[in-house]
A and B are shown apart, each in its own frame.
Chain A
Amino acid sequence: QVQLVESGGGVVQPGGSLRLSCAASGFTFSSYGMHWVRQAPGKGLEWVAFIRYDGSNKYYADSVKGRFTISRDNSKNTLYLQMNSLRAEDTAVYYCAYGPRGFREIAYWGQGTLVTVSS
C-alpha cells in the first residue's frame, strides 16, 4: 500500500534553514507529481508546492515562493522541501502528499512532520 513518511522537522531559529524529506513506497514514485501541504497549529490546510513527476515543472504558493524549493530524487523514491529564510509564520505540520491524477484531488497523505520556527 502507499506509504509516505516525512522526516527532517524540528526547531529552527528565524532566518534559518531546514530540509524536509519524504520517503515514498507502494507506488511508482517516478510516474507521479508530488505535493507539500502545511497546517499551522489550530489553522487550516495550506498548499505549499507541487513538482511534476520528472521534476520538469515546479509550482509554489505565493507565501513561500523564492524561499522554499521543492525537488525529488526518483532513484531514491524521495521528495524534498528545502526551506530557507524561515519565519515564525512557517511554523506548521508539513505533509507530503500525492494524487494519481495530476492536477486533481490529493488521494494520499503522509502523517506529517512538525517544523517550529522560534528563537
Chain B
Amino acid sequence: SYVLTQPPSVSVAPGQTARITCGGNNIGSKSVHWYQQKPGQAPVLVVYDDSDRPSGIPERFSGSNSGNTATLTISRVEAGDEADYYCQVWDSSSDHYVFGTGTKVTVL
C-alpha cells in the first residue's frame, strides 16, 4: 500500500518560515492535499491540488510537489499556526485515501 512519510515535528520561531515535507513514491504524479488540525478540533483543509488555497486560508500557506516529495510552506509563522499538519493523496492503484503520518508544528 502507498505510504506517506512526514517528519514527526518541526519547530520554528515566530516570523520565520516552516517547511513540512511529505515523502511518497513518485508523489509528484499525484495531487497532494494538506490539513491543519488543532487540539480537540476537526481537521481543516489548508492546501489542495499541491498548491491551491481554499478561500479564507492566508497566503502565508503554500505548497509544492515534485519527484518523491511534497512540501507545505508556512511563511511568517504565527503562534496560531501551532498545530498538527497532515498530507493526503488518493491512491488510484488501491482505491484508497492515504494520510501522511503527521507533523507537529511548534512555534517557539
| Residues of A that sit less than 8 Å from B by CB | 35, 37, 44-47, 50, 59, 61-62, 95, 103-107, 109-112
Min CB gap A110→B, angstroms: 7
B9-17, B20-28, B68-76, B94-102 - the one binding chain A: B94-102
Min CB gap A58→B, angstroms: 10
Contact residue among B42, B84, B92, B102 (Cβ-Cβ distance under 8 Å from A112): B42
- Nearest residue, chain B, Cβ from A61: B96
B80 at interface, CB cutoff 8 A? no
From 20 to 48 in chain B, residues with beta carbon under 8 angstroms from any chain A beta carbon are 31, 33, 35, 37, 42-45, 48
Min CB gap A63→B, angstroms: 10
B1 at interface, CB cutoff 8 A? yes
Instruction: Check A111–B49 contact: CB distance below 8 A.
Output: no
User: Chain B residues with Cβ under 8 A from A105's Cβ?
Assistant: 31, 33, 45, 48-49, 88
Q: A62-B1, A103-B90 are in contact. Are A47 and B98 (CB under 8 A)?
A: yes
Instruction: Check A44–B48 contact: CB distance below 8 A.
Output: no
> Which 9 pairs across A and B sit closest by C-beta, in order of nearness?
A47-B97, A105-B48, A105-B33, A109-B42, A44-B102, A45-B99, A103-B90, A59-B95, A45-B86
Instruction: Check A104–B90 contact: CB distance below 8 A.
Output: yes
Instruction: Check B86–A59 contact: CB distance below 8 A.
Output: no
Instruction: Check B86–A104 contact: CB distance below 8 A.
Output: no
Instruction: Check B92–A103 contact: CB distance below 8 A.
Output: yes
Instruction: Check A106–B86 contact: CB distance below 8 A.
Output: no
